[in-house]
């Protein structure tokens, strides 16, 4: 579990078809991911305090087996080895409220082979490795968390740049080389909040496809895993 981004305090998972699927949709981002799992009884799993579960999992030895138990409407038990975490059940999941609409947009975009999102053409495309985004985490450490972040996608330079900072203050830019770069001759620019590095940190290692457009959302789709991250520009559309 790599986390689901800032502002995600709870989570609904769906256990079925030998997999565990989780989706969150907030005003900042949408994240959809699926992992393999041994499902004994299919159904929903509600994590009322995601932070505690992530801390629990990260404290375990690597490759530990984790079991989730939650009969309908009962507290959740997270068990691994001799550790057993219990969390109260909640019938309201904040991060799930916008999920039906977000999944409808995802499915519509998939049908168009990612040519558009919510009816707007995705004019920019490229591939990058998540290891090239590691330095994005240093933006908030050096510049601060509350500064606006601007991204530029340039076909001419075959780069995607992320700049943090305000006019008259410290500014820092991270440039990422883009493979299979395609788009309009003019650079596409979008603006995001200081939470962008924390959202990008939700990506698992590997190659991702990048889709975007001028003053529009940023979509990062993993090529090997079912893991989709859609980051909303500051308009919050």
Distance CA 165, CA 150 (A): 9
Distance CA 24, CA 33 (A): 9
pLDDT digits (tens, 9 = 90+) for 120-139: 999 999 999 999 998 888 88
Residues of the chain with CATH 3.10.150.10: 11-94
Distance CA 176, CA 179 (A): 10
Distance CA 73, CA 6 (A): 27
Q: Report the pLDDT value the prediction gives residue 141, as an integer from 0 to 100.
A: 79
Residues of the chain below pLDDT 50: 236-237
Token pair in block for residue 171: 């500014």
Beta bridge partners, 190, equal 151
Residues of the chain with CATH 3.70.10.10: 112-231
**112-231 CATH, one of 3.10.20.90, 3.40.50.10300, 3.60.15.10, 3.70.10.10:** 3.70.10.10
Q: Where are the beta strands (DSSP E) in the chain?
A: 11-16, 19-25, 29-36, 43-47, 67-69, 76-80, 83-87, 116-117, 120-121, 124-129, 149-154, 159-164, 172-177, 179-182, 188-192, 207-212, 218-222, 227-231
The CATH class of the 11-94 domain is alpha beta
Distance CA 124, CA 188 (A): 8
Q: Report the pLDDT value the prediction gives residue 155, as an integer from 0 to 100.
A: 96
Q: Report the pLDDT value the prediction gives residue 55, as an integer from 0 to 100.
A: 94
Distance CA 157, CA 150 (A): 17
Q: Report the pLDDT value the prediction gives residue 237, as an integer from 0 to 100.
A: 45
Q: Where are the alpha helices (DSSP H) in the chain?
A: 50-58, 99-111, 137-142, 196-200
Coil, strand or helix at 56: helix
């Amino acid at each position: 579990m790599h986390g689901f981004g800032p502002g995600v305090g709870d989570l609904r998972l769906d256990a079925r078809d030998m997999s565990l699927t989780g989706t969150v949709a907030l005003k900042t981002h949408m994240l959809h991911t699926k992992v393999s799992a041994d499902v004994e009884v299919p159904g929903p799993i509600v994590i009322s305090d995601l932070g505690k579960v992530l801390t629990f999992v990260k404290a375990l030895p690597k490759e530990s087996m984790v079991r989730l138990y939650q009969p309908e409407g009962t507290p959740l038990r997270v068990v691994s080895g001799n550790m057993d975490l219990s969390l109260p059940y909640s019938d309201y999941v904040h991060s799930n409220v916008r999920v039906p609409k977000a999944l409808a947009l995802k499915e519509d975009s998939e049908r168009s082979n990612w040519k558009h999102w919510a009816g707007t053409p995705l004019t920019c495309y490229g591939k990058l490795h998540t290891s090239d985004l590691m330095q994005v985490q240093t933006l908030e450490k050096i510049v601060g968390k509350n500064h606006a972040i601007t991204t530029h996608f340039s076909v001419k330079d075959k780069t995607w740049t992320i700049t943090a900072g305000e006019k008259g203050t410290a500014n820092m830019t991270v440039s990422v080389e883009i493979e299979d770069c395609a788009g309009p001759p003019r650079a596409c620019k979008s603006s995001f909040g200081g939470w962008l590095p924390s959202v990008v940190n939700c990506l698992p290692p590997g190659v991702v496809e990048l889709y975007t457009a001028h003053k529009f959302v940023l979509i990062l789709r993993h090529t090997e895993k079912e893991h989709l991250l859609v980051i909303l520009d500051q308009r919050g559309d």
